[in-house]
Structure 1
Amino acid sequence: MQRRHDIDALRVIAFSLLILYHSAMVHVADWDFHIKSTYQAQWLQYPMIALNRWRMPLLFMISGIALGLAGIEGRRWRFAGSRSLRLLVPLVFGMLVVVPPQTFFQVVAHYGYSGGFAHFYMLYLTHGLCRAGQCLLTPTWNHLWYLAYPLPYTLLLLAAVPLLRRLRERLGDAEPTRVSAGLLLALPVLWLLGVRLWLAPRFPETHALLDDWTVHAESLPLFLLGYVLATGAGFWNWACRLRRRTLGVAMVAIGVELGLRWLGHHPPAGPAPEWASQVPWYTIERIARATYTWMALLAILGWSRVLLDRPFRWLPYCSEAVFSWYILHQTLIVALAWWLIPMRLGAGVEATLVVTGTIAGCLLLHEGLIRRTGWLRPLFGLKAMRHAAAPRPLPQPVP
């Protein structure tokens, strides 16, 4: 099957946005993070909300699409073994090596911990990080929580391949009819709306896998849907054709959500009109959120198919590098912020140094160490090194 460069490029872009997002978490007001700057801005919430609504749903949908394009049906359980190793090894390594510095700087900054890293690390390994009756559950995976989720999703998908394959065959390569297109536009929005109205208030997001019902209800259907739609030429043609309209609807929807949030923080002066108390503002905001999430996903898939499905020279390198950058980036962000915050350099200088320092650190560690060291590669999710084939002996002349 022909390589889908747009899916590879989307994966690189989506993971790259995490550097900006998690760097902004240091400076956004009213949101918890491992370390917080003295320079905080509430306005950052609005672009981060606009990004946050689709960044993780997109990654889960891309993961499903990638499986649908990989042709795994004939080697399901062999693929399950290799997939498990490629996800579990970096996850365990990250929890034991990459993530602990984040927690160390967190307890130093927030809890006044004064011990050294060696003493802290023993506490980290033995669940000993408690203060005033509050305990941090360690070892933890922090930003690496995403690695824990595709594995059970993949195993579930592999078990359901016979059913999902029949569904893919029924959809075929024809573009959706008016009825099926309407369902494809409406049903995901209704599902996401139900998750936000019913599940989210009862089961807050935890990123702890076993009790994270809201995230599972949102992410798993998108993962499976990505697999089902991956090879349907009709769906991709339809998404391309509707990309301007889905983008327009997405922009209106996020405008409604952010506008209602802004009014919640800045209510108009004077008494509110009587009719305003009768309007279900919370439900309207949830409808706008669900609509924005799905329409943004459709718009992104459509536009990327048009603009990104080409063999960019940077794509093979970035596709390999993105996994190690993902594993490294948040630890670098927290470490740089912890070092820079006491200098009080100003908001712009501090934020710029955190972002550029993180990019430089990821580049140096990946290029100079990880990708060139055979035993490190699988620890960061990279495939084993390909050794050059031994040269063939020159043919000897016939006597």
Structure 2
Amino acid sequence: MITERRYDIDWLRVIAIGLLLIYHIAIIFQPWAMFIGFIRSNELMEELWVPMTMLNVWRIPLLFYVSGMGVYFAMRKRNWQTLFLERTRRILMPLIFGIIAIVPLHIYIFQRYYNLPLDYMPGPAHLWFLGNIFAYVLLLTPILFFLKKREKGTIHKKLQGLFNNPIGPLLISAFFVLEVILVKPVLFEMYAETWHGFFIGFLAFFFGYLFVYIGNRFWKTVLKWRWLYLAIAMVLYGVRLFVYNLNGLHELTAIESNCWILTVFGFGYKYLNKPGKILTYLSQASYPVYIIHMVLLYAGSALILPLAIPVYFKFILMVLFTGIGCYLIYEFIIRRVGFLRPLFGLKRQKTTKKKTTIRRKLAAQG
């Protein structure tokens, strides 16, 4: 059982969102960008695709793992009713708001950029992730609370024993291998609004919960064997890159994906489990930034891509424009405007009891 704050998990969430921004910017400079609804640069940077292919098999599953871990911590002081209400406020409300007010903005920019007829059929677009997470909470809540009530029971002890050696964490890859065998995705990294994305997210979310539920036994294992997991991941990536020309067997990719993630957990547990003001700020900002980043990305594309400058400068400007733009909107609008905060998954600003009492006294005197 873990009771202390896990700052490394907060850091991994922040890092995953940062990688998401960089990855989406890199897509703009790939020849297939328009096929998945991105504005495409006329000058390409296809050399970016090699590092992208290393990231794209584990960056989204990592977010699902971390989301499952977050639910564990949310359940410590909540029953199923309050958990459901809290997740509705933090996930479903921003999803609905995003479909109504955020997604249409970047679709509008895309259509204007390519002189297409203006049209919008409501859909989640990049916010599909939130819909999946909310579905997992609904589907898994009975199982998660069943496990919670037996946190010191037989199941918990057997899981601790299983994950007390380096093979235990590797065994979960069998479920992901079975998933690709049954679902047969065209591309392993095609997660958005696909059954493959739904089921792989479901597995990652559930195992993320289990990893924290098991306690320090799991974390000590991935800490000790992180170099082994890294070596396996690098070998499998090498096979996918050099043997299969990035079109390898999905079964091997599923194992590779989890080895990268176990590596990240191990190194994160060693180096990132530290508090700090920067983490506090970024941890709160990451969710709103995820929601709004596509609008800044498309606006930046429309402004920067037509410029007569080298493509490498365009990429750098895109990173700066998107990053700084997201910061400014978060810091000076979302964070400070009270009624907007819940729409972006933030808690309402609290008015302390002391301030409330003072206001009431002043009102009574006046």
User: How far, CA to CA, are the matches of 2:93 and 2:74 in structure 1?
Assistant: 22
Stretch moving more, 172-181 or 13-22: 172-181
Deviation at 1:333, TM superposition (A): 0.6
Contact 2:98 2:124 in 1 (8 A): yes
Find the residue that maps to 1:367 and give its secondary structure. helix
Question: Is 2:44 the counterpart of 1:61?
Answer: no
Tell me the residue number matched to 2:288: 324
Q: Give the number of equivalent residue pairs.
A: 349
Question: Is 2:207 the counterpart of 1:222?
Answer: no
Q: 1:238 to 1:178 in 2, by over 3 A?
A: closer
User: How far, CA to CA, are the matches of 1:344 and 1:6 in structure 2?
Assistant: 42
User: How far, CA to CA, are the matches of 2:296 and 2:62 in structure 1?
Assistant: 24
Contact 2:341 2:347 in 1 (8 A): yes
> What is the Cα-based RMSD across aligned positions, in Å?
2.5
Question: Is 2:178 the counterpart of 1:190?
Answer: no
Q: Which runs of 4+ in 1 moved over 4 A?
A: 177-181, 202-206
Deviation at 1:390, TM superposition (A): 3.2
Contact 2:54 2:237 in 1 (8 A): yes
Matches within 5 A, 1:101-250: 101-110=105-114, 112-113=115-116, 120=118, 123-124=119-120, 138-165=121-148, 166=150, 169=153, 170-172=155-157, 176=161, 181-186=166-171, 188-201=172-185, 205=190, 207-208=192-193, 212-231=194-213, 232-250=215-233
Tell me the residue number matched to 2:299: 335
AA at the equivalent of 2:143: A
Per-residue CA deviation, residues 30-83 of structure 1 (Å, 9 max, x unaligned), is 343421000113222221111111111111111111222333475111110121
74, 78, 81: which one aligns with 1:77: 81
Contact 2:14 2:286 in 1 (8 A): yes
Contact 1:72 1:79 in 2 (8 A): no
Deviation at 1:100, TM superposition (A): 1.2
Deviation at 1:335, TM superposition (A): 1.1
Tell me the residue number matched to 1:297: 261
Per-residue CA deviation, residues 262-304 of structure 1 (Å, 9 max, x unaligned), is 3x7xxxxxxxxxxxxxxxxx7x633431221011111111110
Per-residue CA deviation, residues 91-117 of structure 1 (Å, 9 max, x unaligned), is 12111221112212222344x326xxx
Contact 1:168 1:229 in 2 (8 A): no
User: How far, CA to CA, are the matches of 2:312 and 2:166 in structure 1?
Assistant: 46
Q: 1:23 to 1:39 in 2, by over 3 A?
A: same
Tell me the residue number matched to 2:90: 86
Unaligned runs of 5+ in 2: 359-366
AA at the equivalent of 1:296: W
Contact 2:230 2:260 in 1 (8 A): yes
232, 246, 252: which one aligns with 1:288: 252
Q: 1:238 to 1:168 in 2, by over 3 A?
A: farther
Q: 1:168 to 1:365 in 2, by over 3 A?
A: farther
Contact 1:35 1:105 in 2 (8 A): no
AA at the equivalent of 1:171: H
Per-residue CA deviation, residues 211-261 of structure 1 (Å, 9 max, x unaligned), is x32112211111111112203211111111111111111111111112234
Tell me the residue number matched to 2:31: 29
Q: 1:27 to 1:168 in 2, by over 3 A?
A: farther
Tell me the residue number matched to 1:100: 104
Tell me the residue number matched to 2:361: none
* Identity across matched positions, percent: 30
Contact 2:300 2:318 in 1 (8 A): yes
Deviation at 1:29, TM superposition (A): 2.6
Contact 2:62 2:261 in 1 (8 A): yes
Per-residue CA deviation, residues 350-382 of structure 1 (Å, 9 max, x unaligned), is 111111011111111111111111011111111
Matches within 5 A, 1:320-399: 320-390=284-354
Contact 2:58 2:261 in 1 (8 A): yes
User: How far, CA to CA, are the matches of 1:189 and 1:168 in structure 2?
Assistant: 26
Deviation at 1:167, TM superposition (A): 7.5
Find the residue that maps to 1:375 and give its secondary structure. helix
Q: TM-score, normalised by structure 2?
A: 0.87
Contact 1:175 1:237 in 2 (8 A): no
Contact 1:174 1:234 in 2 (8 A): no
User: How far, CA to CA, are the matches of 1:222 and 1:168 in structure 2?
Assistant: 23
User: How far, CA to CA, are the matches of 1:35 and 1:223 in structure 2?
Assistant: 31
Q: TM-score, normalised by structure 1?
A: 0.80
Q: 1:200 to 1:167 in 2, by over 3 A?
A: farther
AA at the equivalent of 1:239: V
Higher helix share: 2
Per-residue CA deviation, residues 290-337 of structure 1 (Å, 9 max, x unaligned), is 221011111111110110011122111111111111111111111110
